[in-house]
Amino acid sequence: VQEKASGALWALSGDDPTKRRDIGTKIGIEMLIVLLESKSEKIQFVAAKALSTLSCGAAKHQTKIREAGGVLPLVRMLKQSASERVLLAVISTLAALSIGESKDSTFSKELT
């Protein structure tokens, strides 16, 4: 059920970043981070893609993702996922989170 619901919600957003950001916001950053841990590749993809969309160009969402503990699950996904599309979404999210960060930032500390 969760897989079908997440896939349907994401499909409804189409390619419109504004709609994707709106859906990601409604699902909630904390829930998206939880969904990263799903065993379903489809749910992992939707969660990673939604986090990527939220983090691109939105400092407030980047901060919320970091404060909610989203960095470590994303890094774990780099090591565990065999899905190319999940990995690309995770890399996109981590790239957006790292832009403008200093060496002593929370993001850098979480990776070490």
The pLDDT tens digits of the residues spanning 42-82 come to 889 989 999 998 888 678 899 999 999 999 999 999 998 88
Q: pLDDT at residue 104 above 60?
A: no
Residue 24 pLDDT level (bands cut at 50, 70, 90): confident
Encoded tokens for 71: 């960095």
Question: Does residue 15 or residue 81 have the better pLDDT?
Answer: 81
Pick from 41, 42, 46: which is nearest to 31 by CA?
46
Q: How many CA atoms does the CB half-sphere of 88 hold within 13 Å?
A: 3
Sign of the CA dihedral running 94, 99, 105, 109: positive
Average pLDDT, the chain: 81
- Please give the span between the terminal C-alpha atoms of the chain, in angstroms, as a whole number: 37
